[in-house]
Amino acid sequence: MKPTGTDPRILSLAAEVAKSPEQNVPVILLKLKEIINTPLGSSELKKVKQDIYCYDLVQYCLLVLSQDCSRIQGGWTTISQLTQILSHCCVGLEPGEDAEEFYKELLPSAAEIFLVLGRQLQTCFINATKGEEKGELLHFFQIVTDSLFWLLGGHVQLIQNVLQSDHFLHLMQTDNIQIGSTVMSLLQNILQINSGDLLKIGEKTLHSILDELIFKLLSTPSPVIRSSATKLLLLMAESHQEILILLRLSSCHKELRNLLNKQESGTEFSQELRELVGLLSPKVYQETEEQKLHQAACLIQAYWKGFQTRKRLKKLPSAVVALQRSFRSKRAKMLLKVNRQKEEEDLKLRSKLQRQRAMRLSRELRLNMLEIVHPGQVEKFNKELEEKSAIIIQKHWRGYRERKNFRQQRPSLREYKAAVILQRAVSLTFLYGSQMSDVASRELHAQAQERLQHYFMGRVVEERSQQHREALMAQISTSIEQLMKAPNLKEAEGKEPEHFLSRSGPVAAKAKQAHFNTLKHIQAPWWKKLGEELENEIDIQQDELSIELGALFTGGTKPP
């Protein structure tokens, strides 16, 4: 159910997304940034986010980010802005009836997509050769991680999902200083929000994170990475006693002590490292040979687990493909539904336009007919049109009434038909059962053949008569239509009179005779016309008749 009182900007944007092609949707969704960044009150902003979610704009952002990055218009600039829009729309959103789908499907998918985008940016950053390109990619990577942190800050239940993700562990295992520093800062901010999720993740994942931090602290020459790793280990050891025990069992305190001896005293890193060494090496703790062997074994295991984890993470693209396939399938279903609704609306609109066009053509045809009809015949034409309309209405009404009566009488008709069939069967049985002579049978057969022949002959004659009547009616209709459309004699030009010449020889001869009778009667003196009637037939010489045909006669065909 769509909300009432929706911001018109959201309605316009949703309609534009539904009507636009797929490649233009990412750029159109960037308009959401102006909507959510508008200075509004907390209740108004919450209402705006609910409307954006109800019109599936959040889902569209998620589907766009799950696509192939190389196919998105605007590249990483558009993608980074969409991550910001998606995280801001999800934080502070109350989905209402769709809460289960929002919290269990949409939010985990959004966090996973942010991590996948971070991995892709990490790969592009490593493969880049130009300094400007590296700077832009690093900027986009920071925007994506900030968006992820903003999302986790609003939904802390996602922290456990992020820490258990193989993509996040792969980001931590990078050798690049800038990418590694950004990821470790993200982890530190996450633990400051809620460090209790460290104990909720799997033991194998927790060991992998600790081993990676220890590895970076002992092996990386960068002071920035070492300082970040030290702060993280110190934060984790101070927050949870279980992690402190794991760090003691890892036998890394001796290497940390050697590293502390090499550092200059008084620096911030040396102070943090000294605190960490103090936590891992209490006075009551005494090292033995067995403990050293155990610590060495743990260190080897840490290196081996790190190697195995890196090897396993190389197979993650298949998981990304599966995730993209599922989102594309969902997007295809949504687009199919939208297209079906659009086709239904277009079909209704086309039907309406066709009805309007047919009505307009009918009216234009009627007006054209009225222009052709002589003014004195308009009333007659309207009366004929009304009669035809009344006949058509009566025909439809009678057809409806007869069909209705037929449906009501259908049971009786069935009973009557069944009775006729039974009677016919009984009659045939009685006929064939009785003893008939050969002479009676032959006479009966001869009568049946004679009646059948008479019926077929009569039907042929009737069909020919009907065809002849139809041909005459069509000829008469054509002649009437030509006469109605004929111009005045003063306006006639060229060969227009030839169109009205009759094709029938007898009709043409009769017309010629009548024409000359009329001329003779007109030329006669007035005293001869008193009490006289025009004779039906006047004998005229054939030569005179032939001479006058071409000049005066226009109602028949010229003689051959």
Q: Which single residue is written with the structure tokens 């009548």?
A: 514
The answer as to whether 344 is a domain residue is no
19 and 142 assigned to the same domain: yes
Q: Are 235 and 276 in contact (CB under 8 A)?
A: no
146 and 11 assigned to the same domain: yes
The answer as to whether 371 is a domain residue is no
Within 10 Å of residue 116's Cβ, how many Cβ atoms? Answer: 22
115 and 186 assigned to the same domain: no
For residue 268, the domain's CATH number is 1.25.10
Is 34 buried (19+), middle (13-18) or exposed (0-12) by CB count in 10 A?
Answer: exposed
CA distance 119 to 110: 14
What are the pLDDT tens digits along the chain (560 aa)? 455 677 788 888 888 888 888 888 888 888 888 888 776 556 788 888 888 888 888 888 888 888 887 788 888 888 888 888 888 888 888 887 778 888 888 888 888 998 888 888 888 888 887 778 888 888 888 999 898 888 888 888 888 888 888 888 888 888 888 888 888 888 888 888 877 777 778 888 888 888 788 888 777 778 888 888 878 887 877 777 777 777 776 666 566 666 666 665 555 566 777 777 777 765 434 444 456 678 888 889 988 988 888 887 887 777 778 888 888 899 999 999 999 999 999 999 999 999 898 888 888 887 777 777 677 677 777 788 788 888 999 999 999 998 888 888 888 888 888 888 888 877 776 666 555 567 777 888 888 888 878 888 888 888 888 888 888 888 788 777 777 776 666 666 656 666 666 566 666 777 788 878 888 878 877 666 665 544 444 444 444 444 334 433 334 444 33
Q: What is the pLDDT of residue 283?
A: 47
179 and 148 assigned to the same domain: no
163 and 297 assigned to the same domain: yes
Q: What is the pLDDT of residue 546?
A: 43
Q: What is the pLDDT of residue 250?
A: 67
Q: What is the pLDDT of residue 455?
A: 80
163 and 191 assigned to the same domain: yes
The answer as to whether 319 is a domain residue is yes
194 and 138 assigned to the same domain: no
146 and 282 assigned to the same domain: no
CA distance 381 to 462: 33
71 and 38 assigned to the same domain: yes
Q: What is the pLDDT of residue 251?
A: 62
Q: Are 73 and 20 in contact (CB under 8 A)?
A: no
Q: What is the pLDDT of residue 549?
A: 40
Q: What is the pLDDT of residue 277?
A: 72
22 and 118 assigned to the same domain: yes
Q: What is the pLDDT of residue 540?
A: 41
The answer as to whether 490 is a domain residue is no
Within 10 Å of residue 103's Cβ, how many Cβ atoms? Answer: 14
Helices (H), 220-280: 223-239, 241-249, 253-262, 268-280
The answer as to whether 130 is a domain residue is yes
CA distance 111 to 108: 5
The answer as to whether 494 is a domain residue is no
Q: What is the pLDDT of residue 547?
A: 38
463 and 419 assigned to the same domain: yes
Q: What is the pLDDT of residue 343?
A: 92
384 and 255 assigned to the same domain: no
Residue 529 lies in domain: 505-552
Sign of the torsion angle spanned by Cα atoms 309, 311, 314, 316: negative
Its pTM surpasses 0.75: no
The answer as to whether 170 is a domain residue is yes
CA distance 540 to 125: 114
The DSSP output letter for 4 is: S
The residue among 114, 137, 154 that closes a domain is 154
The answer as to whether 335 is a domain residue is no
Q: What is the pLDDT of residue 344?
A: 92
Quote the number of domains for the chain.
4
